[in-house]
Amino acid sequence: MFVDRPVGIDLGTTNSEVAILDPSERDLLVYADEHGRKTVPSAVCWDPATSSLLVGRPARMRRGREHGPVESIKRRMGQSATVPVGPRTMSPEEVSAAILGELRRLMLEHLKKGAPTDVEIRLARAVITVPAYFDAPQMEATRKAGELAGLEVLGLLQEPTAAAIYHSWRNELGDGVFLVYDLGGGTFDVSVLRCLGGEYQVLAIDGDNYLGGDDFDRRFAEKLRQKLVSRGFALDLKVRESSEDAERFLRLVHLAQEVKESLSTRDVVHVAKEAYFTDQRGEAVSFELEIGRPEYEAAIADLVATTMRCCERALQRAQEIAGVALADVDHVILVGGSTRVPAVVEAVKRDLCAPSKSQAPLQEEVDTCVALGAAVHAAQLGGLRLGSTNAEGAVVSLLSPLVAKKAELKLTLEVEDAPEGTRSVCVADSEGGLAEHEITSVPSGKLRLTIPLGDEPEQRVQLELWGGGADALAILPFALYRGDVRPRASSLSKPSVVAKDIAIEVLKAGRRERRVLVARGTGLPVKVDHRFYTADQSGAVVLRLLQNRLPIKTLVVSVPEGTEVGTPVDLELSCDESMRLEAKAKVAGQELWAQIEAAKLEAPESTQALDRLLEDAEGVGKQLWGREGNAYRRELEPLSTSLREAVATDPAKAAALAARLQLLVEEFRDASGEGLTPPMHRFEDLLDRIRRVVYRSGGGMLGMDLAAWEERIDRLSRRGQEAWDTSDGSEWRRTYNEAQALYETASEQEFASRAVDDPEHLARRQANAVVWASLLESKLRDFVPSAADEVRELQQAERDRLIASLHEKVRRPLEGAQGMPPVELRRLLDRLNPEMERIELAFERLPQIGLVAER
Amino acid sequence: MSNPFERYGLDPFDGPAAITERMRELAEDAESEEERAEIREAWEALTLHPRRRLELALEAHPDSRPALGRSPRPRRRGRSADALGLADLTALPSVAGALGERTLPDVSLDEDPVLIDVAKKGARG
Amino acid sequence: MWRPDDQQLLERLEERTLMRALWRRMSHGAPPPSERAAGLVHLLRQTDEGARACERALDGEIELLVTLVRPASYVGLRPPLVHHLALWHHAVARTLPPHARGEAEEAWLQALGAWAALASESAYLRGLAEAVVADALPAAERDAVAVDGARRLLAELEERALEGAGALDDVTAISLSVFARVPEALARVEAPPATLASEAVRRRRHLVDATMRPVHEALTEAQARTEPGEAHLAALAAAVRVWRFTAHDLELERFVVDQATPMAWELYGHKQWSMLRRLDATIAPAVDALAERVGRDPDLFAYASRVAQMLVFRAELLTTLDTQLETVERALVLCDTHRNGRLVCADLLSERALRRIETAPLWDRKRAALEARVDTRRAESLFAGLARTKRAKEAIAREGVEP
């Protein structure tokens, strides 16, 4: 027979770990090599000698040699880049799959030692952990890596949650609030979780996908470089352009890593290197340095401060959704190798432990607690699968814990496969059946059996599948245990949550807005239904899904042209435990289903392109003011600072940050051009026109004196400004319309006696019409359509239609108006104005074409 | 009846721990995934934020009914079941009158499931 | 042997039965609420009047009990009873089918009144809140949540309407109407929460905006695509419907006039009289209501010109001179400087002057010319130099009267 227990895997930036929960639930086993080392380096390289991949420690040992290892691949997950590995190029998923495959192999070998020979041990299922703050593309890439490694990925669990699960399991903490501070090699996560009677509630998560121990190392490597330059070495490194420079810098990064590790236990470290590498002139770089802890800590202080800001945000969110503040936190848990840095521990003690109920941070198993927690969760999700390896083909999953404190155990099982004719399943010991359940179909669905337990700590029992005959059709032995049950979540808990809002772009009061469909913190799996409405008759419905501001999928549904505005558009979005997203849209009898293969991040590559992006970002900032401007600058400043630093030290991080910056710039560029309609300047212009009419009249008009008029205009102006500042589209339109109405009423006095066809007035109107038409045409020709293919086509077709309409209905008749008698000219102009209004309105709506409206 | 306190028969004065324990039992006994999802949602509503728990408690009818009295002592063995009639339960003339001569707007006491149940139990005992 | 415990059980059963009967009477057959709602009947039964109503209800006459659960005032009722009443009406309001508009509105208003009354029962609410959340919430927040029932009801009312806002259905109509009647509900309460009325106004505004959003979208799409036509009219008709739901909201009147003005001008330019006539017929109630307001409230004079123009369009479409003149005169009362109004009025007066003379018997032409002169003089003062005025003056002169 075979047994298959799912494992928990922490796929880390620097190191990875794998663990499994013993079915007795007394032991959590983590893989360790013959030297007791529990971590496996996340490194892959090409071995020219065997023409195969080396993974883990053997790969890391090739640092600094030809065909050096690919490391920190986790930082590239979700990007479309590939990396060279010997003669091959591999995607980040493939490199990660190699690491996962190796972990599986090592664990299997480990478990086989001492296992009975007649039982085949299978490791086919896993829960893989991911940083809490991973985006959908990064999650998707991780799941794919698991599948490429031949694993059934039961779920992706966020690392801090895994750590909390481990600590509550280990220390039997059934209740309490945890703050998990997880500083790994490449990512920082913070989660606030509550454990309630063994059930988990993830209250908040935050973090930075591009901040970890690697950044400490690169930051200090740059310091080291500057020290060496000051000693005369030629080390003006161009890491993006020159692979040799990149290699030199990498050597400094490794040195910085050593310094970091030494300073974790000592106050001063002495570094002496002989011909460590050669500089750009070919001279051997040899040096001696004395580095004190304060110098190191000063260099990384702002990075540590960034982690604390993430913690503040997470706590703020926890306060919002659960009323939980820092003072309510019972345990602060430290996770990740980088939390060994003394400056980090100090900051956590000072800023997090002191104001909370936690005396000191829990710091057990910082390297392995994530894998251990994942193993507990994997056991909860996957249970224990037993099966026969012969032709009987019986497979049964035991889905509930096999241990109970009381004298009976409620066992949930599912018969997944069974010999022909199976009618019942029975749990029996040597003296006979203990519990039985009828089977009407296979797979059976979940069956519940209540089994009496004796007093012995371990009881050998067997699962028997029975047909109509005198003998069981299949027998699968296993054990039940009597003892303490550790806190463990039931199906009430949803430990994996959506890290960032999943949203859709919609129209609201004429403006494009992001509408959250699945809010961050929502437990997985989740399925949501939303109803939207068509807002135009373009013949297409555009559903643009985003995670935060990252576009993850655009669905375009074609509908019959002329489909009524306001036709319901039903969108169903589902997301499973491993963040696999599916969307179903239904509109006007058309249905579209799409699996959301998250778009990969595309970022400018060259240094020049990055410089242009940074300049562009500054430029957009200058056009924004008020609330929008502040929001933009708040995000822009840290991002551009990190990007400028990463350009010189970390090309992979620079690419990711550049992609993020690009999205920020795009969003706010739109915001600056697309605000409310009509634009502010037209409102201001209107108020000026009213003022002029009032002053021309000498002040007294329509029963009001000058002061009353001024007061009235000011009131309108204030209302308009407030609506504008708060982006209140409805109020803005109302105020604008009132101003327009007031202008018309005020102007009546001047117009009261003007002749209908005053030639001078008509000539002015004609000239204005000509200017307006040509402005409209250039606006239409200059229009920049959307970057998304399907949407671009729609917009271009509409733009072309408008240009044709402008020519046919406006420009041509205007050209023929020369010398027209006044009456006819007036009538023509009266007809052309509404046409141009119409084209202008359609032009303003071009960027919104196909978008759905929200009620 | 969408208020989770009323729907699942929970006492608003019980704390989150007791609520969790009860909801876990309910989730374990749930017949389908949909039902389990509803229970989970209710559990989150009741335990995630105390503000929401308080709101839901305010949206549940306060229990202003008088306490249920003690149930009658079991009848002595040996007495014939046939001898038990509704009259045994309705010694008060006004109540007997209520059963005999008057009808309630929609349901008569004779059809009241609790009374029938009491009568049946009496008949058996 | 009948024991006090048996009596207690019997009363409890009766109260449950009465609660269900009451529910059936008020809820159009929706599934009954929690059995704990029978506490409402129990509390009512504590008073003489309530005991009588329960007696009668047990005899099959439920109406007195129905009257008791719909008090004209919440002043002086015990807090748990007010709490039950709030929940009862709230539940009834939620379950009533939308076509039972009158009853649904009444239930929402009763619930609102009861929640507003309960808000001032701080001792009762504090006791309850402490028992539920102890110190898991800061005392101030705990108290705030406890008194917030009425506000939550308003939010729910808005939310329900927003779900159906696209359809402009009965649910929307009920919500809009209840919002308009909030003062009526608060009048049943001694000291309603201070900001509740303004909150209701704010939510109502928001709801009206949201309800109008689909109308606006349909209209904008129509305006961006074609000349004024059926789609435009349908959208304006929808706007007028919402306007009726809101018990004549001023902003909606302005909206209708704002949107209709350019349409009417375009139809006028293309001489599409029948479409212009239909446009006028569609929006006339809202235009007339706004005209009436502008005439009454000097603060609204910004709209004088637009409303006057809509009346001028109408005047031009009418078929009898008297009604035309009457309408355009209304326009000039609103905006006496309105150029088009003055022009059309002058033209119509001149026409009347001509007709006075043309239709008068020969022996009475002089008197007719004198009357016509009044018209032409006014016409000249309104808009000088019209061809028809000139013709009328000539006709007057022909009768030997100084024009």
Domain span at C107? 4-206
* A398 Cα to chain B: minimum distance (Å): 15
Q: Which long-range contacts (CB under 8 A, 24 or more apart) does C128-134 make?
A: C128/B57, C128/B58, C128/B62, C129/B54, C129/B58, C131/B12, C131/B13, C132/B12, C132/B13, C132/B53, C132/B54, C132/B57, C133/B50, C133/B51, C133/B53, C133/B54, C134/B15
Architecture per CATH, A172-361: 2-Layer Sandwich (3.30)
Contact present, A129 and A551 (Cβ < 8 Å)? no
| pLDDT for the residue numbered B98 | 54
3-state secondary structure A538-587: CCEEEEEEEECCEEEEEEEEECCCCCCCCCEEEEEEEECCCCCEEEEEEE
pLDDT of C115-166, one tens digit each? Answer: 999 999 999 999 999 999 988 899 999 989 988 999 999 999 999 988 766 6
Q: Which pLDDT score is estimated for B96? A: 52
Contacts of B16 in chain A (CB under 8 A): 196
| Interaxial angle between packed helices C79-95 and C4-27, expressed in degrees from 0 to 180 and rounded to the nearest 10 | 40
Instruction: Please state at what angle helix A729-751 crosses helix A680-696, rounded to 10 degrees.
Output: 30
pLDDT: which is higher, A345 or B15: A345
A467 near A419, Cβ under 8 Å? Answer: yes
Domains: count for chain C? 1
To the nearest whole Å, the CA of C173 is away from the closest chain A CA by 16
Calculate mean pLDDT across residues C14-28. Answer: 94
Residue ranges per domain, chain A?
Answer: 1-168, 172-361, 383-482, 502-596, 607-674, 676-753, 755-855
Interchain CB distance below 8 Å, C128 and B106? no
The residue behind tokens 């460590």 is A276
- Rounded to the nearest 10 degrees, the angle between the axes of helix C122-133 and helix C79-95 is 70
Let me know if residue B74 belongs to a domain.
no
Give the range among A274-288, A523-537, B66-80, C167-181 with minimum mean pLDDT.
B66-80
Band of pLDDT at residue C294, cut at 50, 70 and 90: very high
pLDDT digits 0-9 by tens, A242-264: 888 988 998 999 999 999 999 98
Q: Residue window 696-715, chain A: list those with CB within 8 Å of chain C.
A: 702-703
Task: Provide the chain C residues 28-47 that lie in CB contact (below 8 A) with chain B.
Answer: 31, 33-34, 36-40, 42-43
Q: What is the pLDDT of residue A67?
A: 81
Strands A511-518 and A502-508: antiparallel
ipTM score assigned to the predicted complex: 0.85
User: Residue B19's closest chain C neighbor by CA?
Assistant: C132
Q: Is residue B98 part of a domain?
A: yes
A197, A410, A492 member nearest B40 (Cβ): A492
Q: Residue A102 CB: number of other CB atoms within 10 A?
A: 23
**One-letter identity of residue A471:** D
Closest C-alpha among A435, A388, A390, A450 to residue A416 = A388
Contacts of C305 in chain A (CB under 8 A): 741, 744-745, 747-748
Structure confidence at residue A790 (pLDDT): 78
Average pLDDT over residues A36-41: 94
Contact B62 C34 (CB under 8 A): no
Would residue C282 count as lying in a domain? no
**So what's the pLDDT on residue B115?**
61
Residue C64 neighbours by CB under 8 Å, 6+ apart: C52, C53, C56, C57
Among residues B43, B58, B73, the one where a domain terminates is B58
Q: What is the pLDDT of residue B121?
A: 57
A contact chains, 3+ CB pairs < 8 A: B, C
Q: What tokens were used for B24?
A: 């876990």
Using the beta-carbon criterion (under 8 Å), do B16 and A322 form an inter-chain contact? no
CB contact under 8 A, B27 and A494: no
Contact assignment for A841 to C224 by CB distance below 8 Å: yes
Which residue, among A208, A177, A209, has the nearest Cα to A319 in the 3D structure? A177
Nearest-by-Cβ selection for B50 from C40, C128, C136: C136
- B27: nearest CB among A197, A410, A492: A492
Chains that touch B (3 or more CB pairs under 8 A): A, C
pLDDT, position B101? 44
Arithmetic mean of pLDDT, A413-434: 92
Residue C165 pLDDT: 62
3-state secondary structure A76-111: HCCECCCEEECCEEECHHHHHHHHHHHHHHHHHHHH
List, in order, residues 6 or more apart from C403 with CB less than 8 Å away: C373, C376, C393, C394, C396, C397
Partner chains of C (3+ C-beta pairs under 8 Å): A, B
Residue among C7, C36, C145 whose CB faces B54 most closely: C145
Q: What is the pLDDT of residue A657?
A: 86
Task: List, in sequence order, every residue forming a beta bridge with A277; answer none if it has no partner.
Answer: A285
Rounded to whole angstroms, how far apart are CA atoms A395 and A412? Answer: 14
Task: Please tell me if residue C363 touches chain B, with a CB cutoff of 8 Å.
Answer: no
Token reading at C358: 């043309």
B116 near C CB under 8 A: no
Nearest CB among A197, A203, A523 relative to B21 is that of A197
pLDDT at A39 over 60: yes
Domain contains C190: yes
Q: Which CATH architecture has domain A383-482?
A: Sandwich (2.60)
Name the amino acid, one letter, at C276. L
**735-764 in chain A: CB under 8 A from chain C:** 737-738, 740-742, 744-745, 747-749, 751-756
Give the pLDDT of residue A632. Answer: 86
Backbone angles phi, psi at A220, to 5 degrees: -75, -30
Query: What pLDDT was estimated at residue B107?
Result: 47
Distance CA B22, CA B25 (A): 5
Give A200's Cβ-side CA count (13 Å radius): 36
* Closest partner CB to B104 (pick from C37, C60, C152): C60
- Please tell me the number of Cα atoms within 13 Å of A80 on its side-chain side: 10
The distance of A852 to chain B (nearest Cα, Å) reads: 29
Query: Cα torsion at C3, C7, C8, C11 (round to 10°)?
Result: 170
**Angle of the A626-649 helix axis to the A213-230 helix axis, nearest 10:** 60
B99 touches chain C (CB under 8 A): no
Domain that includes residue B111, residue range: 81-124
Mean pLDDT calculated for residue range A688-713: 87
User: C-alpha distances in angstroms, C200 versus A17, C157, C172?
Assistant: 58, 10, 15
Question: Is there a contact between A501 and A548 (Cβ–Cβ < 8 Å)?
Answer: yes
Could you tell me if C56 lies within 8 Å of chain B, comparing CB atoms?
A: no
Chain A nearest C-alpha distance from C235 (Å):
10
Residue of C nearest to A845 (CA): C224
Q: Which two tokens stand for residue C357?
A: 């003379």
What number is the average pLDDT over the span A425-441? 92
Contact A180, A164 (CB under 8 A): yes
- Interface contacts (A, C; CB < 8 Å): 114
Report yes or no: C84 at the B interface, CB cutoff 8 Å.
yes
Q: Do B67 and C38 touch (CB under 8 A)?
A: no
The strand pairing partners of A701, in sequence order, are: A704
Which of the residues C168, C205, C220 would you substitute to probe the A interface, choosing the one with the greatest number of A C-beta atoms within 10 Å? Answer: C220
CA distance A156 to A146: 10
- Out of C210, C218, C339, the one facing A751 most closely (by C-beta) is C339
Give the distance from residue A735's alpha carbon to the nearest chain C alpha carbon, in angstroms: 11
Q: Determine the distance in angstroms separating the CA of A830 from the nearest CA of chain C, rounded to an integer.
A: 6
pLDDT for B95 equals 54
- A289: pLDDT strictly greater than 50: yes
The torsion angle over the Cα atoms of residues A116, A122, A125 and A126, rounded to 10 degrees, is: 60
> Which residues of chain B are modeled with pLDDT < 50?
76-81, 87, 90-91, 93, 101-107, 123-125
Q: Is residue B63 in some structural domain?
A: no
How far apart, in whole angstroms, are the C-alpha atoms of residue C296 and residue C300? Answer: 9
3-state SS assignment for residue A127: strand
Q: Has residue B76 been placed in a domain? A: no
The arithmetic mean of pLDDT across residues A344-357, rounded, is: 96
In a domain, C275, yes or no: no
Q: Using one digit for the tens of pLDDT, what is the confidence trace for A218-246? A: 999 999 999 999 999 999 988 878 888 98
Subunit contact C39:B61, Cβ cutoff 8 A: yes
B45 part of contact set with chain C, CB < 8 Å: no
Cα B32-B34-B39 angle, rounded to 5 deg: 95
SS3 C235: helix
pLDDT of residue A439: 93
Give C-chain residues touching A827 at CB under 8 angstroms.
269
Residue of C nearest to B108 (CA): C17
Q: Does B86 touch chain C (CB under 8 A)?
A: no
Is residue B73 included in any domain, yes or no?
A: no
The mean per-residue pLDDT over the stretch A812-817 comes to 91
Sorting pLDDT into bands at 50, 70 and 90, what band is A345? very high
Q: How close, in Å, is residue A547 to chain C by CA atoms?
A: 25
CB spacing of A838 vs C166 below 8 angstroms: no
Distance (Å) from the C-alpha of residue A538 to the closest C-alpha of chain C? 10
With contact defined as beta carbons under 8 Å apart, do A170 and A143 qualify?
Answer: no
Q: Tell me whether residue A591 is exposed, middle or buried, using C-beta atoms within 10 angstroms of its C-beta: 0 to 12, 13 to 18, 19 or more.
A: exposed
> How buried is C260 (Cβ within 10 angstroms: 0-12 exposed, 13-18 middle, 19+ buried)?
buried
Nearest to A841 among C212, C223, C339 (CB): C223
Identify the helix (H) or strand (E) that includes residue A515.
Answer: strand A511-518
Distance to chain B for A475, nearest Cα, Å: 27
Contact residues for A573 (Cβ-Cβ < 8 A; gap 6+): A502, A517, A518, A527, A528, A530, A545, A581, A582, A583, A584
Measure Cα distances from A223 to A235, A285, A648, B19, B96 in Å: 12, 15, 12, 56, 98
- Tokens 């490391």 — which residue? A71
Q: Do domains A1-168 and A172-361 have the same CATH topology?
A: yes
| Structure token pair of residue C156 | 């729910």
Mean pLDDT value across residues A348-366: 93
CATH class, range A502-596? mainly beta
> Does A197 sit within 8 Å of B43, measured CB to CB?
no
| C50: contact with B, CB 8 A cutoff | no
What's the total number of domains in chain B?
A: 2
Predicted pLDDT of residue B97: 53
Distance from CA of B62 to the nearest CA of A (A): 25
Distance CA C403, CA C391 (A): 11
| Comparison of pLDDT for A596 and A79, the residue scoring more | A79
Mean pLDDT confidence for A559-580: 87
Token pair of A651 as six digits: 């090309």
Q: Cβ distance A552 to A546 under 8 Å?
A: yes
pLDDT tens digits for range A821-847: 888 998 899 899 999 999 999 998 888
**Three-class SS state of A23:** coil
Q: Which residue has the tokens 């063995």?
A: B77
**What is the CATH code of the structural domain delimited by A1-168?**
3.30.420.40
Q: Does B25 touch chain C (CB under 8 A)?
A: no
- pLDDT for A500 equals 85
Cα distance between residue C150 and residue C147, in whole Å? 8
